[in-house]
Structure 1
Amino acid sequence: MGKKNVVSIEDRIPKLKQERKKKANRRLIFYLSIFFLLISIIVYLQSPLSYVRTIDVSGNSFVKDEEIIEASSIGEKTNIWSVNASEISRAVNDNPVIQQSDVNRKLPWTIEISVSEFDHVGYMKQDEHYFPVLGDGNVLENLQQSSVDGNAPLLLGFSDEKYLNQLTGELKKLPESVLQLISEIHWNPSDENQHKILLYMNDGYMVDGTIRDLAEKMRVYPSIVSQLGSESKGIIHIGAGVYFEEFNAESEEDSDNQESTNEHEQ
């Protein structure tokens, strides 16, 4: 029979003690790490390191950054982890110009506020100044401009807010490509029809129509114009039916002659 190796308990005890000591040390290091991590988190949360230092605002053109930041109520000592994104979003959305906003944290100390504003569909003129008009009929009287950008028409004669709101509601449904073709819209009510309007187009045509269903009827404007001769200019009627009325060339000629006669007389 082969000789067996016999290890006494006395020989194994030092090894067992050493392994237990290693396990105890690892356990101690683990608990100490957790302890110091918790202490670090508490110190961080209570220190200026967790304060919001930067607020990035994007997507705004009508509303100033400062107005949005003020509405958010985020101050110099606001803890980034105490920021309630949904509450800030609701506060920012109270601005009638802002349609929607999103609030996000960007560690270590930045809050991002992204907004989308209602599109402006026209301009109102008052005392040589122009004011953007939103799709909900709201006139931005605090954003006066000395000129218009050509991306939306000038709205003239709308002394009744009811009809202005109806018009802007229709304009916001229009494709941008069609909206940019309109230079001016005049409210031209009659006793029979308070919704009558007259549109002056950038391509030289005029459109006689009504506020009702304006978006639906104006969608076909490009196709109507494409069927007219390039030399033909006149009024496109888009009421109960669609028809074209060419400008009276003879009347225009008489008008030109009259102006010429007046100039000679002067």
Structure 2
Amino acid sequence: MPHRPETAEQRDRRKARNRKIVVGFFVFIGLIVALESPLARVRRIDVKGNTTIAQANVVADSGIELGESLWQVNAKAASARIERRLPMVQSAGVTVDWLHGAVSLALRERQVVAVYADAGSFYELLNNGYVFAAEPPSAGLPYPLVSGSDEHVQVHAMISSNVSTVCRQLAKVPSGELTDVSEFHINGDGTISMYLDNGFVVLADSDSLAGAVNAMQSVVHYFVQKGYKPGTVDLTGQPPYRYTPFANAQASGGAQGASGQQSAGGGGNAVAGANATANGVTSQTGGGIP
């Protein structure tokens, strides 16, 4: 059968097809070379933001290894592994520097905000309420003390939702504002009793604890200036805030005399309102107390 001569159009299509095959072959070879080249491998792993966690632990828990292909680094999965395996890490960011073959692990650590006291044992609490570690009883307590009725405290676990709420609130308060508080006690109804060094007890709602800490100094100072003896100041509601003397308190002398206690009525309660905008606290008398 005679061979039909190839037309110019068919010849051009054949040449174009051959060029595509050749180009595709060299692209494939180049890709293989790039994947296997030392320049496309992890040559350095940098860890930033770690203050309490060893760099080796961060790298190990990230799952990223020196020498592995940069193409295989999954930044999202590495971040999730770090956050899941290291409770002290609040967030982790992973970036890949292709030019220098480096992987950067940027951490934001959680902070210890309190120490939980339970039957003579002490446990460091992170800002999400997670029990980070046991604290030796002989060690000093540089953090606020938290107590409650929770049982079975376990390291590397949450204690309760109430404890977690308190820790999240304490994380919002500068440490300098907590120096006068000796203990935060979680009551059965979810309120918090703050025991102050001057003998006063301040009652607050757990979910608004940070705001109560900010307000308590001016409120308690008002009662102290008026000559009130240590008692309970209730900040669970809106101003004016209520003061109640302790049941075994003995009133004597000054502006807070015995007659003044009795004239308050209803158990000797007095009321004070906090002025948040101007001169600290203004008073509103209740039951005849000046």
Q: TM-score range by the shorter chain?
A: 0.5 to 0.7
- 1:191-210 pair list within 5 angstroms: 194-201=189-196, 203-210=197-204
In the alignment, structure 1 residue 218 sits paired with structure 2 residue 219:
no
Contact 1:131/1:145 (8 A) holds in 2: yes
SS in 1 for 2:134: coil
* Aligned equivalents of 1:121, 1:245: Cα separation in 2: 31
Q: Which residue of 1 aligns with 2:75?
A: 85
TM-score (norm 1): 0.60
* Aligned equivalents of 1:186, 1:48: Cα separation in 2: 59
Deviation at 1:109, TM superposition (A): 3.5
Q: Deviations over 1:233-252 (max 9, x none)?
A: 7245124434374895799x
Moved more, 64-73 or 224-233: 224-233
Contact 1:167/1:211 (8 A) holds in 2: no
Q: Deviations over 1:57-107 (max 9, x none)?
A: 222345443332222111232123432222222222224432221112345
* Aligned equivalents of 1:64, 1:233: Cα separation in 2: 50
In the alignment, structure 1 residue 122 sits paired with structure 2 residue 114:
yes
* Aligned equivalents of 2:54, 2:117: Cα separation in 1: 22
Q: Which residue of 1 aligns with 2:261?
A: none
Deviation at 1:186, TM superposition (A): 2.3
* Aligned equivalents of 1:54, 1:219: Cα separation in 2: 46
- The amino acid of 2:144's aligned partner reads P
Contact 2:79/2:93 (8 A) holds in 1: yes
Contact 1:175/1:219 (8 A) holds in 2: no
Contact 1:157/1:186 (8 A) holds in 2: yes
* Aligned equivalents of 2:43, 2:198: Cα separation in 1: 54
- The amino acid of 2:233's aligned partner reads H
Q: Which residue of 2 aligns with 1:101?
A: 92
In the alignment, structure 1 residue 55 sits paired with structure 2 residue 45:
yes
Q: Which residue of 1 aligns with 2:148?
A: 157
Q: Which residue of 2 aligns with 1:168?
A: 167
* Aligned equivalents of 1:181, 1:53: Cα separation in 2: 51
* Aligned equivalents of 2:42, 2:121: Cα separation in 1: 39
Mark the CA change 1:102 to 1:208 in structure 2 (over 3 Å): closer, same or farther: same
* Aligned equivalents of 1:61, 1:206: Cα separation in 2: 37
The size of the alignment, in residue pairs, is 206
SS in 2 for 1:219: helix
- 1 or 2, which has the higher helix percentage? 1
- The amino acid of 2:184's aligned partner reads I
Q: Which residue of 2 aligns with 1:14?
A: none
* Aligned equivalents of 2:49, 2:119: Cα separation in 1: 30
Query: Sequence identity, in percent?
Result: 25
Mark the CA change 1:144 to 1:231 in structure 2 (over 3 Å): closer, same or farther: farther
Q: Which residue of 2 aligns with 1:182?
A: 181
TM-score (norm 2): 0.56
Deviation at 1:225, TM superposition (A): 4.3
Q: Which residue of 2 aligns with 1:24?
A: none
* Aligned equivalents of 1:54, 1:76: Cα separation in 2: 7
Contact 1:92/1:98 (8 A) holds in 2: yes
Contact 2:115/2:141 (8 A) holds in 1: no
- Gap runs ≥5 in structure 2: 1-25, 152-159, 253-290
- The amino acid of 1:54's aligned partner reads R
